[in-house]
Amino acid sequence: MVAYANVSDIGSPPPRKRLVARIWSARLDYLFLVPGLIIFGAFIVWPLIASIYYSTLDWSGFSRNATYVGLANFRALLQDSYFLSALWRSFVFTLMTVPLQMLLGLVFAIVLNNKLLKFSTLFRALIFLPVVAPVAVIGIVWVLLLSPFNGPINGYLLDGHLVQRAIDFLGTPNLVMWSLAGIFVWKWTGITMIYWLAALQTVPDELYEAAKLDGIRMRQVVVHIVLPIIAPFAAVIALISAIWALNVFPLIQATTEGGPFFSSEVMEVFIFRNAFAPPSGQFPRLGYASAAGVLFGVAIMFLTILQALAVRRARARRGENGND
């Protein structure tokens, strides 16, 4: 916090108001924060705390009598091969989608950032359109597009003699995650492009003009001027994209529901199956599902910290640390 000092006070630490007094003096600011804090508390903090608590229970969600089981759910999860596979699949899916999404988003952003390009606004809108379309609709449409029976994609492949028989993109275990990754990248590249476009706004126009006067080619401008300037944004964009990729539940639920035979079951689908869609004859396992959620959260947090450390280290190497 900045303290305003009189000239006579220079050289001695500024007098600090007591905390209560400071809060009181900024009471209007705090008042405006209250609605946001209530919503944040109710929908973020409380569910987080409740999940941690539920993860220590043997509880179906129906009964009032939940049994405290300590870490038993966590121990059981670490021996559950379906949990480990789902966790692994979630991160593999992230690796399959994020780099491609970032690369495509960057290419689109650089091309569409060119003010001389005609209809760039229209192209931006078209690329962004899938982002605003509801996931459930996207899922159904893609199931139809990829259908091996009468889907147009298979139609083109067959008509062009590119394949001998129709491909079951979403029903073939070895292919399903790639198909879902393709749909995911198609849906979310638009938002990554917007992030990159925002980053590109930080490149001063003078640099482009100077490069133009010096007769530098566009490719060189991009490689030697633009990319180094916008590179720090990559970490943030990668992080946001990774979080999106880890939250892929609606798309998978609308297309494969985790099938066939778990081959597209990512972590959120695993959690949903245990919490709300147990097999016939079994009660839901809310405690178990909550424990899975907690472990998933911890894994994401761990990766985020690793990423933050990597970014900090990279900046330090470049001598940027402290000069931001």
Q: Cis omega before residue 279 (within 30°)?
A: no
Q: Find the shortest distance in angstroms from Cβ 187 to other proteins.
A: 18
Rounded to the nearest 5 degrees, what angle is found at the Cα of 73, between the Cα atoms of 67 and 74? Answer: 145
Residues 6+ apart with CB under 8 A from 65: none
Q: Find the shortest distance in angstroms from Cβ 63 to other proteins.
A: 6
Question: The tokens of 121 are what?
Answer: 């606004």
Does position 60 interact with other proteins (CB under 8 A)? The reply is yes
From the list 133, 253, 113, the residue with the least C-alpha distance to 193 is 113
- Contact code string over 172-211 relative to other proteins, x by CB under 8 A: -x--------------------------------------
Does position 250 interact with other proteins (CB under 8 A)? The reply is no
**Closer CB to other proteins, 60 or 120, in the complex:** 60
Give the Cα separation of 285 and 63 in Å (integer). 11
Restricted to residues 148-177, the positions that interact with other proteins (CB under 8 A) are: 148-151, 166, 168, 170-171, 173
Q: Find the shortest distance in angstroms from Cβ 197 to other proteins.
A: 35
From the list 267, 269, 287, the residue with the least C-alpha distance to 277 is 269
- Contact code string over 39-58 relative to other proteins, x by CB under 8 A: --------------------
Q: Find the shortest distance in angstroms from Cβ 87 to other proteins.
A: 15
| Amino acid at position 253, single letter | Q
From the list 102, 89, 131, the residue with the least C-alpha distance to 236 is 102
Restricted to residues 255-314, the positions that interact with other proteins (CB under 8 A) are: 255-257, 259-263, 276-285
Question: The tokens of 188 are what?
Answer: 């979310």
Q: Find the shortest distance in angstroms from Cβ 61 to other proteins.
A: 6
**Closer CB to other proteins, 47 or 171, in the complex:** 171
Report in angstroms the alpha-carbon separations of 314 from 222, 235, 305, 309, 319.
21, 11, 14, 9, 9
Q: Find the shortest distance in angstroms from Cβ 82 to other proteins.
A: 5
DSSP state of 49: H
Q: Footprint of other proteins on this chain (CB under 8 A)?
A: 60-64, 80, 82, 143, 147-151, 166, 168, 170-171, 173, 255-257, 259-263, 276-285
